[in-house]
Amino acid sequence: MGWGSRCCCPGRLDLLCVLALLWGCLLPVCRTRVYTNHWAVKIAGGFPEADRIASKYGFINIGQIGALKDYYHFHHSRTIKRSVLSSRGTHSFISMEPKVEWIQQQVVKKRTKRDYDLSRTQSTYFNDPKWPSMWYMHCSDNTHPCQSDMNIEGAWKRGYTGKNIVVTILDDGIERTHPDLMQNYDALASCDVNGNDLDPMPRYDASNENKHGTRCAGEVAATANNSHCTVGIAFNAKIGGVRMLDGDVTDMVEAKSVSFNPQHVHIYSASWGPDDDGKTVDGPAPLTRQAFENGVRMGRRGLGSVFVWASGNGGRSKDHCSCDGYTNSIYTISISSTAESGKKPWYLEECSSTLATTYSSGESYDKKIITTDLRQRCTDNHTGTSASAPMAAGIIALALEANPFLTWRDVQHVIVRTSRAGHLNANDWKTNAAGFKVSHLYGFGLMDAEAMVMEAEKWTTVPQQHACVESTDRQIKTIRPNSAIRSIYKALGCSDNANHYVKYLEHVVVRITITHPRRGDLAIYLTSPSGTRSQLLANSSDS
Ligand SMILES: *[C@@H]1O[C@H](CO)[C@@H](O)[C@H](O)[C@H]1NC(C)=O
Ligand SMILES: *[C@@H]1O[C@H](CO)[C@@H](O)[C@H](O)[C@H]1NC(C)=O
Ligand SMILES: *[C@@H]1O[C@H](CO)[C@@H](O)[C@H](O)[C@H]1NC(C)=O
Ligand SMILES: [Ca+2]
Ligand SMILES: [Ca+2]
């Protein structure tokens, strides 16, 4: 079964495991497909040719899909909007057109926002009313200090506040008229994929369902010292929003979003993903996979787009973030959360692809995240890994201001070198052969903004990436109940290649196909030559 495919016969799991000096995994899902009346089509020959073919078969050509050349978004208004059957009318003969290289009717993907419902003195003087209570920005001077500081003020004091850095939030919109956002709002970093226009304003309803993007945006770039609301971590950065979660999420919608204006946007922050239910295995389908690859290769004039991702909120369902192909990708920076106390939050998902951690909510008595809210308000109860990813995006913006020439891989290296275990509570901290402390809960630890800007200032770009690809004999092996297969595969690190053997390991991507009815019965480990053991998939008794 193909990896992008979401249909699922009982019992077949496809694993694609990724590890970034660390590790992770994914697999697809058992669910009925729901087809939309949108198609992604690849047509060579430019826009006029695409238009001609669209009208010949009764489609409307909505335009190129994000930055993907030759890929177009076609709409067919006479097809029903959501159907469990793929469309079969005369329009389906379009696939026979010689110029049509590839076509795919878009299916609805379930994507869940990563917050959850909840019903001092300081050294920098800002007149914003919420500043004194923004504990994670100046935690060392609180009456109840958190014991590790992300040193954001330290980065500010070195002159970095996000100037000339552009961040966009891929979510349910951004309230661009919010008094704390309008000054830094960047229309060029914003669009509305759901409404197919340029205005990312959220849709308002009684329950404020679409508050999530506006909350994330304020964490990054709320204006400082304007007597209003809060202070963003990169309060002089430009901030935009891509409205893409308020509608059917398809591969095409995701691809348009992650490839939106890649020569202008530097950092994309996403706090959503597949269901965190402990059973799902899902990840980017072909267009989005290609959009990620194009982003790191060509975005930011070849330095690579920076994609920051929330690691997931499925802790209570024993979800494992390796089963989420977005957080798990080597192209994304996957961010976990810790509570004020340094304790593991109840929603935290463990896995080896997590790179680092920022503060967020914890138990009900722990402080939460303070940020801008829908309807020009502020909130002091933003929560979950949703709150952690934008915080990381803001810190990365400070580092990119300190050194705008960091590549997407440099950014990951700088994070690994500067994050700290601090007081973060986990029973699996270990020091790997490269000398870094690492945990499946927190990656390389709590991010440190001041250390990051200092490291960025003096950073030399890492050497070119080399890929060493090895495969097994594809022999079928059976796992007997309550037993393990040891040493399924022993990698050689391309040791037979004099030029390209592995000297320094950056990422590992593991693809495994397993047929089994229940994800929770399985555990997969990867052990490094020096003995660092990474769990690629955790077994659990209840999923
Ligand atoms: C969360 O914050 C908002 C805005 O401040 C407030 O209206 C809401 O009542 C708060 N919810 C809880 C559960 O505290
Ligand atoms: C904020 O504005 C006040 C005036 O309202 C000023 O005294 C203070 O120095 C400013 N703070 C910073 C950090 O610029
Ligand atoms: C995972 O499997 C191991 C070995 O069978 C077992 O000891 C452990 O309790 C399991 N963990 C969970 C969470 O079920
Ligand atoms: Ca403010
Ligand atoms: Ca998850």
Q: pLDDT for 201-239, tens place per residue? A: 999 999 999 999 999 999 999 999 999 999 999 999 999
Residue 55 C-alpha from the chain's centroid: 36
Residue 226 CA, ligand 2 centroid: distance in Å: 9
From 479, 539, 541, 542, the mutation candidate for ligand 3 (largest count of ligand atoms within 8 A of CB) is 539
152 C-alpha vs ligand 4 centroid, how far in Å?
A: 16
Ligand 1 neighbours, Cβ below 6 Å, are 118-119, 373, 377, 379-381
Query: Which letter does DSSP use for residue 375 in this model?
Result: T
283 token code pair: 């990840």
Q: Is the CB of 504 under 6 A from ligand 2?
A: no
Catalytic residues: 171, 212, 386
Lowest model confidence (mean pLDDT) among 46-55, 66-75, 83-92, 265-274: 83-92
CA pair distance 84, 125, nearest whole angstrom: 57
pLDDT score recorded for residue 216: 98
pLDDT of residue 518: 87
Q: What is the pLDDT of residue 145?
A: 57
- Rounded distance between C-alpha atoms, residue 92 and residue 88, angstroms: 6
CATH 3.30.70.850 fits 35-107, yes or no: yes
| Runs of H (alpha helix) within 429-543 | 449-457
Has residue 14 got a pLDDT over 50?
Answer: no
Instruction: For CATH 3.40.50.200, list the domain ranges present in the chain.
Output: 131-458
Residue type, 459: W
Phi-psi region of 46 (alpha: psi -120 to 50; beta: other; left: phi over 0): left
In this prediction, residues 443-467 reach a mean pLDDT of 96
| 382: pLDDT strictly greater than 90 | yes
In this prediction, residue 58 carries a pLDDT of: 92
Which of 367, 373, 381, 383 has most ligand 1 atoms within 8 Å of CB, for mutation?
Answer: 381
Catalogue the E-assigned strands of 351-507. Answer: 356-359, 369-373, 377-382, 430-431, 437-438
pLDDT at 138: 81
Average pLDDT of the residues in 140-147: 58
pLDDT at position 141, please? 59
323 Cα: distance to centroid of ligand 5 (angstroms): 7
Q: Is the CB of 126 under 6 A from ligand 2?
A: yes
Mean of pLDDT values over 515-534: 91
Beta-carbon contacts of 33 under 8 Å, excluding residues fewer than 6 positions away, are: 6, 7, 84, 86, 107, 108
CA distance 28 to 12: 9
- What residue ranges of the chain are covered by domains with CATH 3.30.70.850? 35-107
Which atom of ligand 2 is least distant from the CA of 124? 13
Q: Is 147 in the pocket of ligand 2 (CB under 6 A)?
A: no
Q: CB–CB of 12/515 below 8 Å?
A: yes
> Rounded to an integer, what distance in angstroms lies between the CA atom of residue 523 and that of residue 350?
13
Q: What is the pTM of this model?
A: 0.85
Note the maximum CA span of the chain. Answer: 70
Handedness of CA 182, 184, 185, 187 (dihedral sign): positive
Q: Which ligand has the shortest distance to the CA of 279?
A: 5
pLDDT, residue 12, reads 32
Ligand 2 atom index nearest CA of 225? 1
Q: Whose atoms come closest to the Cα of 125: which ligand?
A: 2
Q: Token pair for residue 109? A: 């993907």
Question: Which structure tokens are listed for 520?
Answer: 């929770």
Cβ(33)–Cβ(6) below 8 Å = yes
339: pLDDT strictly greater than 60: yes
- What tens digit of pLDDT does each residue of 112-133 get? 777 664 333 446 789 999 999 9
What is the DSSP code (8-state) at residue 41? E
Q: Rounded mean pLDDT of 443-463?
A: 97
Closest Cα to atom 2 of ligand 1 = 379
- How far is it, in rounded angstroms, from Cα 246 to Cα 446? 32
Higher-scoring residue by pLDDT: 79, 327? 327
The DSSP 8-state label assigned to residue 132 in this structure reads G
Is the model's pLDDT at 16 over the cut of 60?
Answer: no
pLDDT at 280 over 70: yes
Residue 272, CA distances (Å) to 216, 304, 486 in order = 11, 22, 35
Residue 394 has pLDDT above 70, yes or no: yes
Q: With respect to CATH, is domain 131-458 assigned 3.80.30.20?
A: no
- Mean pLDDT, rounded, of the chain: 88
